[in-house]
Amino acid sequence: MKILIAQDYLRSGGTERQSVLLANAFAAAGHATTLLTFRPGGALAGTVSDAVTHRVLQPFDLRLDWLAPRLLATAHHLAPDVVLCMGRMANCYAASLQAALPAACVIGSMRTGKPLPALFRRSLRTVRHIVANSRDARDTLVARYRLPAGKISVIYNSLVFPPDGFNSAAARDFLRAEHGATSRTRVLLCVAMFRPEKNQRELVEIVAGLPEQLDWQLWLVGDGPARAACERLVTEKNLSARVKFLGFHRDPTPLYRAADLAVHASWSEALSNFLIEGQAHGLLAVACEAQGIRECFRPGRTGWAIARDDRAAFRATLSRRISEPQVAHDDRAAEARAFARTTFDPSRQVAAYLDLFARLASRP
């Protein structure tokens, strides 16, 4: 099968990581796979397998996510059986791709909690099929955008960094000590690009109001345009000893191993990759309510979804988790690991995509 995955740019976001993971896996399964990006480069460009054909449309980086010169001509030349559109920009072109490739099965995707622009909505009505990455996203497509449920399949995001079984206590303690955390400190972790919708500033506002006697640190991992403002807020709140900026990590696995709680205040997530990765490594989760968030964990057991803008409830939940006896924390962590490693297993998700492709391609 000839598979084409369309993505605007290989930045360090969750959708981009999913695009690379799927492209690499499809190629490893023996399918002729092309990853087509609008812009060259990006933080994840070096993670694309040599077995994948990586085509770029812009001759040099024009820093325009939406610009896709010769997209239709390139797609027509590649003559794929299946086109999977990933991210907002690629989905906005999906209707044009389906019109240009009538024999191909063009598949749109719903991976965002943001309102969909008109071109995105048009594409989802035009393409042969849609993959939603959560049941909540599917229900949104049906209820808000009036799309037929039979046209939508739910395939969860895959674990990009599945645990490898190695978990050195010495390495964990060394990393924690490097940032001033003791064995008693509860480390709160957020791995996300610094963009306004990721809302790291809200996390800072929340932890600033935690009871003084609690022993905690907040590790913010990632880079992006909103980082500088967040750093200024930490300085203003006099939290530099407790809030650490760790920068972009291509593989944050050591940080998952060293932390205790995954925290997220984004209002526009759609099944957060970060939260499911954290669960797989045994991190309990506290997150703002958003599309698909409750499907990232076992609500009330391994994760807690907090109403948007309810800082008091978020702080109260964090306080309980930080103060929780270690034995109770460890029991919940084991439950989180079992849930995530089964629900979001990469081999299971890749097989679901390939089975969907085969079924759609066989239809007249």
Q: If you average pLDDT over residues 93-108, what whole number do you get? A: 97
pLDDT at 162 over 80: no
Query: 43, 37 in Cβ contact below 8 A?
Result: no
* H or E segment to which residue 107 belongs: strand 105-110
pTM of the model: 0.89
User: Tens digit of pLDDT for each residue in 244-293?
Assistant: 999 999 889 999 999 999 999 998 877 899 999 999 999 999 999 999 99
Mean of per-residue pLDDT scores for the chain? 94
Q: Hey, where are the domains in the chain?
A: 2-158+345-361, 169-343
| 2-158+345-361 shares its CATH topology with 169-343 | yes
**Span of 57-66, 203-212, 321-330 with lowest mean pLDDT:** 321-330
Strand arrangement of the beta sheet that strand 82-85 belongs to: 53-56, 32-37, 2-7, 82-85, 105-110, 129-132, 152-154
Whole-angstrom distance, CA of residue 230 vs CA of residue 64:
25
User: Tens digit of pLDDT for each residue in 171-225?
Assistant: 888 899 999 999 899 999 999 999 998 999 999 999 999 999 999 999 999 999 9
Both structure tokens of 33: 């796979």
Whole-angstrom distance, CA of residue 296 vs CA of residue 312:
22
Q: Which residues contact 304 (CB under 8 A, 6 or more apart)?
A: 285, 286, 287, 317
One-letter amino acid of 115: P
The predicted pLDDT at position 330 comes to: 87
Q: Which residues contact 185 (CB under 8 A, 6 or more apart)?
A: 176, 215, 216, 217
Query: 94, 68 in Cβ contact below 8 A?
Result: no
Question: Considering only CA atoms, which of 36, 28, 14, 50 is closest in space to residue 82?
Answer: 36
**Residue 221, phi then psi, degrees to nearest 5:** -115, 125
Ordered alpha helix ranges (H), 104-148: 118-126, 135-143
From 3.40.50.10320, 3.40.50.720, 3.40.50.300, 3.40.50.2000, which CATH number describes the 169-343 domain? 3.40.50.2000
Give Cα separations from 179 to 38, 165, 183, 287 (angstroms): 39, 24, 12, 24
User: Tens digit of pLDDT for each residue in 281-325?
Assistant: 999 999 999 999 999 999 999 999 999 989 999 999 999 999 988
Q: If you average pLDDT over residues 6-10, what whole number do you get? A: 97
pLDDT at 329 over 80: yes
Q: What is the length of the chain?
A: 364
Whole-angstrom distance, CA of residue 240 vs CA of residue 234:
6
CATH 3.40.50.2000 fits 2-158+345-361, yes or no: yes
One-letter amino acid of 204: V
